[in-house]
Amino acid sequence: MELAEQVLAGNRRALARLISFVEDDDLAARDALALLYPHTGRAHVVGVTGAPGTGKSTLVNVLAKTLRGRDLTVGVVAVDPTSPFTGGALLGDRVRMRDLAGDPGVFIRSMASRGSLGGLALATGAVVQVLDAAGFDVVLVETVGVGQAEVDIARTAHTTIVIEAPGLGDEVQALKAGLMEIADILVVNKADRPEAARTARALEVTLGLGWGHADNGAWRPLVLKTVALDGTGVPELMDALFSHRAYLQESGLLRQRERERVRGDLMHLLERDLVARLIARVGEPALDDWVRRIVEREADLYAAVQALLEA
């Protein structure tokens, strides 16, 4: 049986193998992804992002447990950074997810960012698709705790949860403008700490400034407090998650965002393949020759592009 068929049949080992092929951009993955594609589009994808140590993994653990309690199956993708020097990575998010062990309705995969700087690995989107096709109702994606996580996760997830923790210095400053903009739900985790209320108020004030014109039916990011360690506030977070899902569906945003994402991916792949095709046609030596001529001031960039396109 094809790997993709085994995945659709619920074979977890096949699922794990396929994810590796996708990560390695193996040719086997392309065929499988094509076969799985018609089965995607059902899962709700939730991004969990925030600074290192704010409690992302702990919150993913308790979120997954709560979702299981509502009879929803959960796939988890947890991304940690690859060392730019050695190519190695220490993936430690599972340490906080031990409560999920032994549950056939949960599948957890750790992923190294492999040189991508956006908080996710290049292949994270495709891995999410595989989990979606495999039938998981919700896919939780934990980003790397550093870097410019905002763009990547906002494109990949339907709902983005941004986590803040009290006592990490100046709260409002810690919450970068970019993170504010992508947050559908803001969570002040570690609410067992005394400064949590102050952090939550500061965030509300900041949000109030930015979203003061939100009377047009647009989604107003919610600020919630949680204690991921014992689950306090998690039912409210769950309700917010479902409200946001409903909002996306009713407003038509779910479709619109998907169209934007697909268009972006399509353009990206077209560009990549067109460039590869062009280079294959003119050959590397011709390219090098143009580079030399431009450096020698015998030609300029625009003339080179024109000539190469017409070659």
Partner 1 sequence: MSKRLRILVAKPGLDGHDRGAKVVARALRDAGMEVIYTGLRQTPEMIVEAALQEDVDGVGLSILSGAHMTLVPRVLQGLRDAGLDRVGVFVGGIVPDEDVPVLKEQGVAAIFGPGASTDVIVETVRQVLGEA
The site for ligand GTP (CB under 6 A) is made up of: 52-58, 93, 96, 145, 189-190, 192, 227-229
Task: Give the integer Cα–Cα distance in Å for 226 and 231.
Answer: 7
Among ligand GTP, partner 1, Mg ion, none, the one that 253 touches (CB under a kind-dependent 5 to 8 A) is none
**Starting at the edge strand that comes first in sequence, how are the strands of the sheet with 106-112 ordered?**
106-112, 74-80, 138-142, 44-50, 159-164, 185-188, 222-225
Q: Binding pattern to partner 1, positions 83-122, x when CB under 8 A?
A: x--xxxxxxx-xx--x--xx----xxxx-x----------
Q: Which does 151 bind (CB under 5 to 8 A by kind): Mg ion, ligand GTP, partner 1, none?
A: none
Q: Is the dihedral of CA 192, 236, 148, 79 positive or negative?
A: positive
93 in contact with Mg ion (CB under 5 A): yes
Build a one-symbol-per-residue string for 61-80: x at contacts with partner 1 by CB under 8 A, - elsewhere.
Answer: --------------------
Minimum separation from the CB atom of position 69 to Mg ion (A): 22
| Least Å from the CB of residue 121 to partner 1 | 11
Shortest separation between residue 116's beta carbon and ligand GTP, angstroms: 16
Supply the Cα-derived Rg of the chain in whole angstroms. Answer: 22
Q: Smallest gap, in angstroms, from Cβ of residue 68 to ligand GTP?
A: 18
d(CA 225, CA 234): 8
Give residues 187-226 in contact with partner 1 (rule: CB under 8 A): none
Task: Find out whether 241 and 185 touch, Cβ atoms under 8 Å.
Answer: yes
Residue number of the CB closest to Mg ion reads: 57
Stretch (H or E) spanning 45: strand 44-50
Instruction: Determine contact, residues 172/139, Cβ cutoff 8 Å.
Output: no
232 touches partner 1 by CB under 8 A: no
Which residue has 């990206």 as its token pair? 268
What size, in residues, is the chain?
Answer: 311
**Between residues 110 and 232, which has the closer beta carbon with respect to partner 1?**
110
Cα dihedral angle (43, 53, 58, 105), rounded to 10 degrees? 40
Q: From the list 54, 57, 116, 159, which residue makes contact with Mg ion (rule: CB under 5 A)?
A: 57
Angle between helices 234-251 and 253-282 (to 10 degrees): 70
> Which is nearer to ligand GTP, 190 or 244 (by Cβ)?
190
Backbone angles phi, psi at 300, to 5 degrees: -115, 170
Residue nearest to ligand GTP (CB): 145
Short-list 75, 121, 79, CA closest to 100: 75
Closest listed residue to residue 182, CA positions, set 216, 212, 219, 217: 219
Residue 102: contacted member of Mg ion, ligand GTP, partner 1, none (CB under 5 to 8 Å, by partner type) = partner 1
Q: Which residues bind Mg ion (CB under 5 A)?
A: 56-57, 93
Q: Which residues bind partner 1 (CB under 8 A)?
A: 12-13, 16-17, 19-20, 24, 82-83, 86-92, 94-95, 98, 101-102, 107-110, 112
